[in-house]
Amino acid sequence: MKVELLAPAGDIERLQVALLYGADAVYFGGQDYSLRANALNFSLADVKKATEFAHNLGKRVYVTVNIVFHDKDLVGLREYLLELDKIGIDAIILSDLVVLDLAKKLNCKFECHISTQASILNYETAKFYKSLGATRIVLAREANKKDIKRIKEETGLELECFIHGAMCTSFSGRCVMSNYATNRDSNRGGCAQVCRFSFKFNDDQEVFSMTPKDLNMIPYIKEMITIGVNSFKVEGRMRSVYYIATVIDAYRRIIDMIVENKYNNAYTKYYLDILNRCANRDSTPQFFEKIAGKDEQYFLGRDEVSNQDFLGIVLKKEGNYIILEQRNYFKVGDVCEFFGPNMEPVTFKIGEMYDENDELIEVARHPRMIVKLRCDLDLDYMTMMRIKVFDISDYL
Amino acid sequence: MKSKIIVNIEHLEDIDRYKKVGINTFLFALKDFCVGYENVFEEKIINEYPDNFVLINRILDCDDVDRLRGLLPTLKVKGIIYEDIAVFNLVKELGLDWELIFFQNHVGTNSESINFWLAKGVDAVFISNELTKEEIKNISVNTAGRVVIQVLGYNQIMYSRRLLLSNYNDNFQLPRRYYGTIEEISSKIKFRVMENQDGTVVYSEKVFNGLELMDLNAKYFYINSTFLSFEEIVNFLNGNSKVESDRGFLDKETIFKLRGQ
């Protein structure tokens, strides 16, 4: 199979952004049985709409059915799987074997992918799941390149690896700190992320957290393709449309350049700067080359104040104007940048600007206000406008 | 009922003492393949106590699997308690006639998944400790008692590949410590933490006392003796312990969807 870029989708808008910005497939949870129990998630009607949208673009949808089930949670699972099958989704992502077993007994046509919650780091475990009919393994985030390569060689399975986003402190699925500290069941989607709280150790004076820095595999994408990774997965079903657009846009371009043999290290630096600014967090490759150590964690003083880089999203073009939904303050004279699918980033200085009553304005200050900007550029629906910070020409 | 108890061994001299109180089945954590246990044992020591169980509770990488393929046939044990499914495959591949007990922390939470494993040839499956007594009872009934129920000990509640204590000590340039207690600042909730070269395990602050579960139908009842002395365990069994304990989630159901969602 060709290299797949797999994006999270917390709702229909983010799903559309992810696919339009270059994801080959998206994953999301239904309103039950998903590990983001407190995200918006998708009703069955949403799943149908999402599947049709993706399939019309020639892309794929995967539905997470990845909680660890208690007996009472099993009520309705059979009907749910049959509904997903009827809709025609491409795969489910599961960790509890009861789901795999049931999907096979029901002769569901969708593929079964084994979630990272199963914590797979070796070929024998992967072979076991293959013997049950799984077609793809989402490896544990702790997998290093040696193990990824070996698992591919020994099993021939499709391998999916996380390349970007938040990490668990623990092996995913092997933590119930949330249950003990907040009574929220982490393995049924209620994780309160207690590991990110502040702690003291014994009688020491130091205050610390166990928070991992984000994962970021930009420097290693080429190597991951070489050792046999099939699907490159971005974490973040609860992230913003801007985050999704920025991250997916970056990885889409990186993967395409690698495949076309046009990639060089200047792009690595450029996209690392873009993505680190977008997330407001430090990021590292974590376990790919070594056991993640102290430099892969935050202990103190993590500054995660949101920036206001995301200025707006293009709704449509009307003659020499674009209609834009404002997301952060901007004013006449600001230098910004448009980026979007099917276009190279374009620098733009804000000039003539109107509100939705066609009143000339100097400042767009109201969240989500509709703004009309004079602009001769041809910009598609969902093109994003951001503050201009980095320019690729400075890196090349 | 004591005949159904499995207790992990921290100190070899405790074995005869356990036998004197009617506990005869022991679990040995295998060196290099376990996390979260104070003492681990090499193959030659384990083989001096045949007809017991060996524990492999690490999540294994490919090199571990290769090494275990050679090591497992040399062990003289009655059975194996394991976390990683690779062990199941290896035992089958090697034709070892052992009792297979699947112990993936936090995962044995429903009857159907456990029955799936039993149908695959596993002899018993650990029930998760984050369930209510009613849920545990239902699973016990639905699986014909082919389960292991943890009845006493500190609960393992997190397993990380990261060396969290070493990282902390390195970051703040403090002396190396591999065991201690962490306290969450705002809630004052405490957890015990233990690290070895293969990772870090976080334990509950208090001893889980679920000895009342020994009324249920199970193949074995497990006592995790980590951080507990022989005397403390016997006191619990005799109902006269003074060590602080709780009943975990036996009568407290966890939630996962917040109000209004």
CATH of the domain at A225: 3.20.20.110
- Which H/E stretch holds residue A17? helix A12-20
> Domain containing A104: what range?
4-169+211-296
Q: Residue A345: CA atoms inside 13 Å, Cβ hemisphere, count? A: 22
Of chain A residues 194-233, which have a CB less than 8 A from chain B?
194-195, 197-202, 204, 206-208, 210, 212
ipTM greater than 0.90, yes or no?
Answer: yes
SS3 labels along B4-41: HEEEECCCCCHHHHHHHCCCCEEEEEECCCCCCCCCCE
Does B171 reach chain A within 8 Å, measured CB to CB? Answer: yes
Kindly determine whether residue B162 and residue A98, on different chains, have CB atoms separated by under 8 Å.
no
Among residues A296, A326, A350, which one ends one of the domains? A296
Q: Could you tell me if residue A182 is inside a domain?
A: no
Domain boundary among A265, A296, A327: A296
Note whether A275 and A325 are same-domain residues. no
Instruction: Mark out the alpha helices in B21-151 (DSSP H runs).
Output: 43-46, 62-71, 85-94, 111-119, 133-142
Instruction: Kindly state whether residues A47 and A145 are assigned to the same domain.
Output: yes
CA distance A55 to A25: 10
pLDDT recorded at residue A8: 96
Whether A158 is in a domain gets the answer: yes
Determine the pLDDT at residue B255: 82
Measure CB to CB from residue B131 to each of A37, A70, A129 and give the nearest one.
A70
Residues in chain B: 261
Q: Is residue A174 part of a domain?
A: no
Please report which helix (H) or strand (E) contains residue B148, including its range.
strand B147-160
Q: Nearest C-alpha of chain A: how many angstroms from B157?
A: 5
* C-alpha span between B165 and B203 (Å, rounded): 14
Q: What is the CATH number of the domain that holds A316?
A: 2.40.30.10
For A329-369, how does the pLDDT look when each residue is reduced to its tens digit (9 = 90+)? 999 999 999 999 889 999 999 999 999 999 999 999 999 99
Give domain limits for chain B. Answer: 2-153+208-246
Domain co-membership, A276 together with A315: no
Flag whether A159 is in a domain.
Answer: yes
Based on the fold, state whether residues A62 and A163 are members of the same structural domain: yes
Q: Which amino acid is at A105?
A: K
3-state secondary structure A99-168: HHHHHHHCCCCCEEEECHHHCCCCHHHHHHHHHCCCCEEECCCCCCHHHHHHHHHHHCCEEEEEEEECCC
Given B130, B135, B159, which is nearest A71 (Cβ)? B135
Is A42 touching B (CB cutoff 8 A)?
no
Contacting residues for A62 by C-beta, under 8 A, at least 6 apart: A6, A25, A26, A27, A28, A89, A90, A91, A92, A93, A113
Is residue A149 a contact partner of residue A167, using CB atoms and an 8 Å limit? Answer: no
Q: Which of B140, B162, B172, B184 to mutate to test the interface with A (most CBs of A within 10 A)?
A: B162
Rounded Cα gap, residues A101 and A367, in angstroms = 48
CB contact under 8 Å between B157 and A128, yes or no, is: no
Q: Residue A86: pLDDT band by 50, 70, 90 thresholds?
A: very high
B142 at A interface, C-beta within 8 A: yes
- How confident is the model at residue A302, as a pLDDT? 62
Residue B260 — pLDDT band, cuts 50, 70, 90?
A: very low
Partner residue facing B160 (CB), from A128, A170, A198: A170
**φ, ψ dihedrals at A169, nearest 5°:** -70, -40
Contact at CB, A98 and B182, closer than 8 angstroms: no
Helices A241-259, A12-20: inter-axial angle, 10-degree rounding: 20
B2-153+208-246 fold: TIM Barrel (3.20.20)
User: Among A267, A296, A325, which residue terminates a domain?
Assistant: A296
The verdict on residue A301 lying in a domain is no
Q: Are residues A283 and A385 in the same domain?
A: no
Chain B partners within 8 Å of A185 (Cβ) = 130, 254-256
When mean pLDDT is compared across A297-311, A316-330, B7-21, the lowest value belongs to: A297-311
- A-contacting residues in B 204-233 (Cβ below 8 Å): 204
> Considering its fold, how many domains does chain A have in total?
2
Supply the pLDDT for residue A92. Answer: 98
Pairwise CB contact (< 8 Å): A299 & B142: no
Of A121, A201, A293, the CB nearest to B61: A121
Could A98 and B112 be called an inter-chain contact, meaning their C-beta atoms sit closer than 8 Å? yes
**Closest by Cβ to A185, choosing from B171, B180, B256:** B256
Instruction: Name the nearest CA neighbour of A291 among A176, A171, A207.
Output: A171
Q: Is residue A305 part of a domain?
A: no
pLDDT at B253 (0 to 100): 87
Nearest-Cα distance to chain B for A270, in Å, is: 29
Q: Are residues A107 and A222 in the same domain?
A: yes
Check CB contact under 8 Å for A177 and B158. yes
A158 and A265 in a single domain? The answer is: yes
Residue A77 belongs to a domain: yes
How much is the pLDDT for A303?
59
Instruction: Out of A127, A169, A176, name the one closest to residue B162 (CB).
Output: A169
Other beta carbons within 10 Å of B120:
15
Give the pLDDT confidence score for residue B151 in this predicted structure. Answer: 98
- pLDDT above 60 for A18: yes
* Mean pLDDT, chain A, whole residue set: 94
- A189 compared with A21, residue with greater pLDDT: A21
